[in-house]
């Protein structure tokens, strides 16, 4: 597909790109590429095999952009719309900022912006995919997603006929939402799909949107499992949302508050279906890690009596809550894995499954391995240490590396994350990378005593633990 990307780029800019680099995608089947010119100015190219899905994003983005909504500008696309190019908003998601001093103000801005997005006039819902409108069929799809991808795995036995009755009763409640509270339903409204640019929120990944109850989105955002907002903060943001939504609709929409709990229930069931599919069935660890957080939301709803009118569902949820299978581990200590490795033998494996972390290339520094007296030694030996430190460049290199890793570790500790990986690679994984990894591990262990540091000199067969008393 790089040839198609080059063609679109050339048609738009009249020149070939200098580089095309794939960007890691989340749960999407689409592929994303950062396309740069010789000066580093970039755009984002998206490759997807669904014309309908791609067309939905393109047409919705163009409409929102024309109404001054913060969405990426569509720059170009090929005839089949299998590849399209959009403005590069950067990599700073709202999710990455949660837990910082800047977060509350940015969240408030996002909530206000959501109400404006949802009430944009003139949307052509016929372009929406897979359906133009939120209806009973779509509700049952999501509820059955929960049943087949999570409930059947988590609960040994339940009455499917009784559960179907509960599902239909829940659907009736959702569809009773007054028409005045309907508009553009983003459907995947979460902090990961908000990019912060110029201290303002920008929207991405809205191709699954449709006409539906707008309450769904504010619930999706505030009850996102890993965001873990407090109840008081949620109440404050709901008040702000209702105020802004009422302003946009020029009417009192305060009645939506009474419907929020039932949408919390529905959304939580839907995401548990997704966690079951991506985590329990596809074995993606970061989805599994979200399951206990979603179950805790169900437990709160159970205590509030929200699930009482759905007896079969209530019984199944009770079973899930009481089970030990999905209980969050008491120990939530952050493990920082620090590696030295040889590029010739590939990157270190990520057994955590979250893909988070940093890789630093040590090969630009002068290599002790080029000299006979150091060939049999490693970055742990005094002669090699002296060789590297006398030149001074490795200290500057590590200080720059730590300026990136330290803030991330601090954020991970604040957010209760459990894994981050830091790798140092060189030609043979013997001298420069070993020195860098060794000193980085000691630096982290000293600076962050609450973090467990696992040091692995992969090519040397050496593993060490810091800040932890258990044996390996």
Residue pLDDT, tens place only, 179-224:
999 999 999 999 999 999 999 999 999 999 999 999 999 999 999 8
Give the other-Cβ count within 10 Å of 97's Cβ: 17
Give the other-Cβ count within 10 Å of 98's Cβ: 21
Residue 327 has pLDDT above 90, yes or no: no
Q: Cis omega (within 30 of 0) on the bond before 130?
A: yes
Residue 305 has pLDDT above 50, yes or no: yes
| Chain mean pLDDT for the chain | 91
User: What value does the mean pLDDT take over residues 153-170?
Assistant: 95
Q: Do the Cβ atoms of 201 and 186 come closer than 8 Å?
A: no
Q: Do the Cβ atoms of 436 and 379 come closer than 8 Å?
A: yes
Residue 418 has pLDDT above 50, yes or no: yes
> What is the structure's pLDDT at 468?
61
Residue 421 burial by Cβ neighbours in a 10 Å radius (0-12, 13-18, 19+)? buried
Spatial distance between the Cα atoms of 440 and 446, rounded to a whole number of angstroms: 10
Domain at 2-87, CATH homologous superfamily: Phosphorylase Kinase; domain 1 (3.30.200.20)
Task: Please report where in the chains the tokens 């995947």 appear, as a residue.
Answer: 188
End-to-end CA distance of the chain: 45
Which range among 233-247, 321-335, 455-469 has the greatest average pLDDT? 233-247
What SS3 class is residue 369?
helix
Spatial distance between the Cα atoms of 257 and 306, rounded to a whole number of angstroms: 14
**When comparing pLDDT for 161 and 330, which is higher?**
161
Q: Do the Cβ atoms of 363 and 447 come closer than 8 Å?
A: no
Residue 472 burial by Cβ neighbours in a 10 Å radius (0-12, 13-18, 19+)? exposed
Spatial distance between the Cα atoms of 68 and 85, rounded to a whole number of angstroms: 19
Q: Do the Cβ atoms of 218 and 114 come closer than 8 Å?
A: yes
Spatial distance between the Cα atoms of 73 and 256, rounded to a whole number of angstroms: 32
Q: How confident is the model at residue 421 (pLDDT cuts 50, 70, 90)?
A: very high
Give the gyration radius of the chain's Cα atoms. Answer: 25
- Give the residue range(s) of CATH 3.90.1200.10 domains in the chain: 94-322
Cα atoms in the Cβ-side hemisphere of radius 13 Å centred on 255: 11
- Give the residue range(s) of CATH 3.30.200.20 domains in the chain: 2-87
Between strands 42-47 and 452-457, the pairing is unpaired
Closest to 356 measured CA to CA, from 333, 326, 336: 336
pLDDT tens for each residue of 7-66: 999 999 999 999 999 887 655 678 999 999 988 899 999 999 999 999 999 999 999 999
Residue 330 has pLDDT above 50, yes or no: no
pLDDT tens for each residue of 243-262: 999 999 999 999 999 999 99
Spatial distance between the Cα atoms of 368 and 305, rounded to a whole number of angstroms: 68
Between strands 31-36 and 19-23, the pairing is antiparallel
Q: Do the Cβ atoms of 30 and 20 come closer than 8 Å?
A: no
Residue 68 burial by Cβ neighbours in a 10 Å radius (0-12, 13-18, 19+)? exposed
In CATH terms, 94-322 corresponds, of 3.90.79.10, 3.40.50.720, 3.40.50.620, 3.90.1200.10, to 3.90.1200.10
Report if pTM > 0.75. no
Query: Can you point out the beta strands (E) in 72-167?
Result: 74-77, 83-87
């Amino acid at each position: 597909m790089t040839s198609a990307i080059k063609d679109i780029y050339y048609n738009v800019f009249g020149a070939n790109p200098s580089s095309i680099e794939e960007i890691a995608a989340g749960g999407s089947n689409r592929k994303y590429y950062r396309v740069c010119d010789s000066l580093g100015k970039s755009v984002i190219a998206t490759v997807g095999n669904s014309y309908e899905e791609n067309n939905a994003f393109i047409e919705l983005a163009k409409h929102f952009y024309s109404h001054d909504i913060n969405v990426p500008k569509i720059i170009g696309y090929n005839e089949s719309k299998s590849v399209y190019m959009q403005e590069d908003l950067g990599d700073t998601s709202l999710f990455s900022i949660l837990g910082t001093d800047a977060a509350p103000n940015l969240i408030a801005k996002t909530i206000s912006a959501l109400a404006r997005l949802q009430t944009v006039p003139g949307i052509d819902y016929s372009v929406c995919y897979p359906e133009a409108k939120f209806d009973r069929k779509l509700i049952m799809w999501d509820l059955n997603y929960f049943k087949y991808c999570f409930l059947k795995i988590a609960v040994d036995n339940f009455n499917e006929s009784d559960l179907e009755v509960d599902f239909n009763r829940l659907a009736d409640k959702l569809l009773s939402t007054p028409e005045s509270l309907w508009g553009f339903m983003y459907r995947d409204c979460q902090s990961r799909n908000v990019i912060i640019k110029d201290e303002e929120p920008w929207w991405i990944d809205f191709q699954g949107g449709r006409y539906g109850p707008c309450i769904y989105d504010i619930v999706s955002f505030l009850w996102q499992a890993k965001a873990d907002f407090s109840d008081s903060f949620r109440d404050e943001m709901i008040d702000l949302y209702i105020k802004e939504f009422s302003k946009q609709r020029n009417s009192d929409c305060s009645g939506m508050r009474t419907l929020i709990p039932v949408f919390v229930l529905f959304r939580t069931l839907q995401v548990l279906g997704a966690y079951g599919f991506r985590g329990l069935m596809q074995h993606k660890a970061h989805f599994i890690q979200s399951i206990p957080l979603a179950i805790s939301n169900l437990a709160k709803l159970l205590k509030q009596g929200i699930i009482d009118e759905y007896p079969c569902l209530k019984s199944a949820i009770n079973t899930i809550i009481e089970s030990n299978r999905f209980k969050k581990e008491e120990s939530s200590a952050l493990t920082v894995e620090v590696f030295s490795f040889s590029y010739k033998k590939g990157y270190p494996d990520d057994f955590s499954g979250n893909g988070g972390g940093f890789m630093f290339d040590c090969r630009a520094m002068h290599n002790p391995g080029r000299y006979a007296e150091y060939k049999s030694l490693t970055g742990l030996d005094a002669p090699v240490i002296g060789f590297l430190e006398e030149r001074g460049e490795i200290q500057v290199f590590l200080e720059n590396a730590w300026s990136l890793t330290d803030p991330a570790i601090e954020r991970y500790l604040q957010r209760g994350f459990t894994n981050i990986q830091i790798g140092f690679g060189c030609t043979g994984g013997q001298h420069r990378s070993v020195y860098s990894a060794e000193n980085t591990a000691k630096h982290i262990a000293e600076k962050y005593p609450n973090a467990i540091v696992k040091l692995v000199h992969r090519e040397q067969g050496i593993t060490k633990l810091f800040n932890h008393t258990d044996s390996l």
